[in-house]
Structure 1
Amino acid sequence: MAIAPDHIQQRAIMRVYSAYRFALAGAFFVALIFGPAKSTLGTSAPQLFAVVASAYAIFALGLLVRHYFMTGRYSPTQLFFEFFVDIGAIIFMSYCSGSADSGLPLLLIVSISAASITLSSQLSLAIAALATITAISEVTVHTLYERVGTQQFIVAGITGMAYFSAAIAIRYLSARIVKTQQLAERRRTDIEKLSAINQRIVQRMQTGIIVMSQTGHIKLINAAAQELLDIRPALPDQDQYAPAVLIEMAKEGINHSRIIAAGPQHLEVHVNMTNLEAHDHSDCLLYIENISKITQRAQNLKLASLGRFTASIAHEIRNPLSAISHAAQLLAESPNLDSSDTRFADIIQSHALRMNDIIKNILELSRGRTPQPQRFAISEWLQDFIDNWQPTEHCGLSMSLEKQSEFDIVNVDRSQLSQIISNIADNGARHGAAEHGKAELLFRCHSSPRSGAVILDIIDNGAGIKPEDEDKIFEPFFTTQSQGNGLGLYLCRELCLANQIHIYYQRTTLAQSCFRLQFSHPDRGNLLD
């Protein structure tokens, strides 16, 4: 099957050929004016040669300008006409030279070659046939006037064979080149599509991907890695470098992994590094995974074990504890007790209730109910929470909601979210009232500047957590209060893990006490995505 050359390739070839045509016509014109008197050019019909050479030079100049400024497609008729004029002009000038040794007909091989590249097979062979006919016709006219011998017909025939051979050979090579170019273009398009698909896959992966040099210069990074490591996107003309801990990993060895605390939230991520090549100075490929899902699976196993353990002892503990509490209550109502004995009875009852609360919280953890996530606007939900919620201890309380982002959609379990926020709000109200006599709670709803995921800050006016205790507040049974059981924030963290919420404590820019809940993206379901 014949393969048509691309129009861009046609334009490039015709521009080169038009420059050649103008140089050839200019050479004829200069030779006519400044050439030696005994030159073979135009010896038979000098006036006709001058007219043809001048007209051909003007024709070549016009086509040179046209080809260099034309941007549209060529029509086969237009190109055929140009090559036809080339054949006619050269044969006329060969006839006017009157000598069989002028060699001008051989110049047509260049024109035939250009026609074979830019025209179809039929038209290129037609150009070769016309060139052959004109060459034989020239010899015939010279023979009629006895200017040359009849043996020149053999030379004309051989020249015609050269025309056809050049046309066929160039056409074959041109078709092969065009076919190869088209194949290369298809391969380039396929590679570009695959590259775009791979880039999209890499960018949408929940696993962070980084390709960097040994010095930490980042060459490729996806959105997940930027979010997990808190790396801001670099400007087009700005270099981007990895955190120092990753650069240290790159210098330590070829293949190893480590769990690091990334970003200002100190999120635990697992980094697996490998060199792209065998030598020590090659680029590094890093896979960065948020281990919250691994932690969640481990937590599920832990809760399952805790559930079996709790179920086996809850009955044994609660029955005697209930008896102790009931007996203490009856004892406190006895009229025969003095004030000190009544105080001891109250202490027994208070600690019995505290133990009962501990067992209740452990049972809630052990049940490990699977979250039932729902999509909803958290700002509307928070407004309902503010209108209906009351702290466990009666105190002056002021609550307000501040919405800083239009996007506030989350995908979590409503009841478990209510448990989380109730526990944090209750702690904040108690500490705020203890510090200032009146508690103030601010719920600030905004979104991540990069991913758009919702962030909720719960700010209170309490004294806050001491810096040395910030890493311990989510541990079970850790408490700074004499009446606390140390399971409230631990329960909050476990429920957050179950709902793909990242919870941590921080101070605001005004040094206010703040618990931050960073929700997963409602569409992608990836923590911090």
Structure 2
Amino acid sequence: MAIAHDHIQQRAIMRVHSAYRFVLATALFIALMFGPAKSTLGASAPQIFGFVVSGYAVFALGLMLRHYFTKGSYSPTQLFFEFFIDIGAIMFMSYCSGSADSGLPLLLIVSISAASITLPSQLSLAIAALATISAISEVAAHTLYEQVSAQQFIVAGITGTAYFSAAIAIRYLSARIVKTQQLAERRRTDIEKLSAINQRIVERMQTGIIVMSRTGHIKLINDAAQELLDIPTAEADQDQYAPAVLIEMAKEGVNHSRIIAVGPQHLDVHVNMTNLEAQDHSDCLLYIENISKIAQRAQNLKLASLGRFTASIAHEIRNPLSAISHAAQLLGESPNLDASDSRFTEIIQNHALRMNAIIKNILELSRGRTSQPERFSLGDWLDAFASDWRPTERHEYTINIEKLDETDTIKVDRSQLNQIISNIAENAVRHGAAAQGTAELHFRCSTLARSGAVILDIIDNGDGIASEDIDKIFEPFFTTQAQGNGLGLYLCRELCLANQIHIYYHRTAHQESCFRLQFSHPDRGTLPE
């Protein structure tokens, strides 16, 4: 019966057996020295018994110290020698006791059992055979100087049978236990691997995952959920709690979904909650999805529809508009016009140009191709943008670029990003120059410490947007300027949606006008907040 012997298991068993061996030898020595005068122990040869039990106690102490204080694997030869000494010492003491009534041979069952667990099958049966031979030999030795009944040979034979029975039974049980242990170890390894894979999948999922109690205590959360809900990473000894709106959902105790606004920028996310168990008080499993991806798909459908519509009307509007503009230009060059008529032709030309700009912006929206994202450094891209870009209107301006972190990798469409920044910078220069005479643009590039996602602040020195108009600035055709068409920021937002960029307007701590772009994570494709 083959069995794999584990070094740690062998060491544990031998430590226990060495302690048992030392306790047994000490107990026999004490019984010999302080026991009753008519004791069976050492009855035939008490001096030899004392010498053997003393040597056996010293031998047991040495082995116990070795097993407890040394490390290393055991060889079968070393273990066989230990059990062989056990058999010789106990059988010699049994012989010195001069009677089968001492019961000392039965003590070998413990050693045989230990040998069956720690030794290979052939050697463990050899130990049982040696013990049986010793038991019969001890009875035979008594026949040399005294009359021995046949019953003692029968008892020796029964004892030998007990030895073999114990060896075989312990060997079988040990094999079953080891096999079960190995199976459990394989299952444990498989479960650990599966758990590690599941944990890796959950961590890398673009959908946020949260397992929490009804009171909001978070038991499991992945990176995407932390970023979407703006939940800071807790220390090892600290508990994490979900936002209040999620706790309210959990207290309702039903499986449902809801779109909620989270974070200081009120980012819309879709939360789907389900109970882990049938009980209402069980933990909750929440799937949190950034609906910007849904908005992106809707945006693609909307752009396709808008493209078909604008393609059909562009020719019908642009040709007459071009004729009107050209006629007004020719009329304005006539020497027969007075000042008031020249003013009218100028108005016609200005509004023709304005209508042409509106059509141009709508065509840019309708022709919006699928974004082609690529990874690149935002800081390097800003340096190139600042050196190449010029505003359409001739205003004095300066551009300052501040890079707060070395890691600034983003994954967006370069041309669409150029269009977004150009539109915002165009507005910033115009308003900054109107308010201060010279426009000042400040690009500040930084990285969120928790998620590694990049944010870009575009700060200008203009008067900024009135608080009552902030919610409207990204609506189409909304403008506060007499000559504006209200499509520039709308176009920026649509392009941001196509690239999973969250754009919003806010005032800085110094009340400066600022547009913030929060880029999606370059690896997971989720918005940072």
Residue of structure 2 equivalent to 1:372: 372
Higher RCO (C-alpha 8 Å, min separation 6): 2
CA contact (8 A) 2:227 2:527 kept: no
Spell out the pairing of 1:41-52 with structure 2 (5 A cutoff): 41-52=41-52
Per-residue deviation at 1:292?
A: 1.1
Q: Deviations over 1:346-384 (max 9, x none)?
A: 222212211111111111111121223333333222222
Per-residue deviation at 1:339?
A: 2.8
TM-score relative to the length of structure 1: 0.97
Per-residue deviation at 1:336?
A: 3.6
Per-residue deviation at 1:147?
A: 4.5
Give 5+ residue unaligned stretches, structure 2: none
Per-residue deviation at 1:280?
A: 1.2
Residue of structure 2 equivalent to 1:429: 429
Structure 2 letter corresponding to 1:330: L
Local SS of the residue matching 2:149? coil
Deviation larger for 131-140 or 68-77: 68-77
Structure 2 letter corresponding to 1:264: P
Residue of structure 1 equivalent to 2:207: 207
CA contact (8 A) 2:224 2:526 kept: no
Residue of structure 2 equivalent to 1:67: 67
CA contact (8 A) 2:253 2:281 kept: no
Structure 1 letter corresponding to 2:508: T
> Counterparts of 1:260 and 1:385 in 2: how far apart (Å)?
37
CA contact (8 A) 1:128 1:167 kept: yes
> Counterparts of 2:443 and 2:67 in 1: how far apart (Å)?
71
1:27 and 2:23 aligned: no
CA contact (8 A) 1:100 1:148 kept: no
Distance 1:206 1:168, change over 3 A: same
Residue of structure 2 equivalent to 1:445: 445
Per-residue deviation at 1:117?
A: 0.8
1:328 and 2:361 aligned: no
> Counterparts of 2:415 and 2:150 in 1: how far apart (Å)?
110
> Counterparts of 1:250 and 1:354 in 2: how far apart (Å)?
53
Per-residue deviation at 1:177?
A: 0.2
CA contact (8 A) 1:268 1:291 kept: yes
1:466 and 2:469 aligned: no
CA contact (8 A) 1:113 1:167 kept: yes
Residue of structure 1 equivalent to 2:393: 393
Residue of structure 1 equivalent to 2:113: 113
Residue of structure 2 equivalent to 1:269: 269
Local SS of the residue matching 1:470? helix
Structure 1 letter corresponding to 2:292: S
CA contact (8 A) 2:207 2:289 kept: yes
1:196 and 2:196 aligned: yes
CA RMSD across the alignment: 1.5
Q: Deviations over 1:17-60 (max 9, x none)?
A: 11211111111011011100111111100100111111111111
Spell out the pairing of 1:34-183 with structure 2 (5 A cutoff): 34-183=34-183
> Counterparts of 1:496 and 1:80 in 2: how far apart (Å)?
78
Deviation larger for 401-410 or 225-234: 401-410
> Counterparts of 2:145 and 2:263 in 1: how far apart (Å)?
98
Q: Deviations over 1:82-125 (max 9, x none)?
A: 11111111111111110121111111111101110111101110
Deviation larger for 403-412 or 169-178: 403-412
Spell out the pairing of 1:242-321 with structure 2 (5 A cutoff): 242-321=242-321
Per-residue deviation at 1:191?
A: 0.6
Per-residue deviation at 1:523?
A: 3.7
Per-residue deviation at 1:406?
A: 1.5
Structure 2 letter corresponding to 1:27: A
Residue of structure 2 equivalent to 1:6: 6
Residue of structure 2 equivalent to 1:352: 352
Per-residue deviation at 1:512?
A: 1.4
Give 5+ residue unaligned stretches, structure 1: none
Spell out the pairing of 1:220-235 with structure 2 (5 A cutoff): 220-235=220-235
Residue of structure 1 equivalent to 2:383: 383
Structure 2 letter corresponding to 1:412: V
Per-residue deviation at 1:519?
A: 2.1
Per-residue deviation at 1:318?
A: 1.7
> Counterparts of 1:494 and 1:213 in 2: how far apart (Å)?
38
Residue of structure 2 equivalent to 1:482: 482
TM-score relative to the length of structure 2: 0.97
> Counterparts of 2:256 and 2:284 in 1: how far apart (Å)?
11
Structure 2 letter corresponding to 1:228: L
CA contact (8 A) 1:32 1:50 kept: yes
Deviation larger for 112-121 or 326-335: 326-335
1:521 and 2:521 aligned: yes
> Counterparts of 1:253 and 1:106 in 2: how far apart (Å)?
66
1:340 and 2:352 aligned: no
CA contact (8 A) 2:205 2:524 kept: no
Deviation larger for 390-399 or 196-205: 390-399
Identity score, percent:
81
Structure 1 letter corresponding to 2:227: E
> Counterparts of 2:511 and 2:84 in 1: how far apart (Å)?
89
> Counterparts of 1:395 and 1:85 in 2: how far apart (Å)?
104
> Counterparts of 2:412 and 2:288 in 1: how far apart (Å)?
25
Local SS of the residue matching 2:101? coil
CA contact (8 A) 2:255 2:275 kept: yes
Q: Deviations over 1:244-280 (max 9, x none)?
A: 1111111123211111112222221111000101111
Q: Deviations over 1:396-445 (max 9, x none)?
A: 10111111222233332222211111110010111111111110001112
CA contact (8 A) 1:500 1:526 kept: yes
CA contact (8 A) 2:206 2:525 kept: no
Structure 2 letter corresponding to 1:11: R
Q: Deviations over 1:135-159 (max 9, x none)?
A: 0000000122125213311111111
Per-residue deviation at 1:506?
A: 2.0
Q: Deviations over 1:464-514 (max 9, x none)?
A: 122222222111111111211110011111112222222222222222111
> Counterparts of 1:175 and 1:251 in 2: how far apart (Å)?
52
Local SS of the residue matching 1:471? helix
Residue of structure 1 equivalent to 2:512: 512
Deviation larger for 164-173 or 493-502: 493-502
> Counterparts of 1:486 and 1:147 in 2: how far apart (Å)?
125
> Counterparts of 1:305 and 1:405 in 2: how far apart (Å)?
41
Structure 1 letter corresponding to 2:186: R
> Counterparts of 1:224 and 1:524 in 2: how far apart (Å)?
8
> Counterparts of 1:40 and 1:180 in 2: how far apart (Å)?
44
Structure 2 letter corresponding to 1:227: E
> Counterparts of 2:521 and 2:337 in 1: how far apart (Å)?
61
Local SS of the residue matching 2:254? coil
Residue of structure 2 equivalent to 1:410: 410
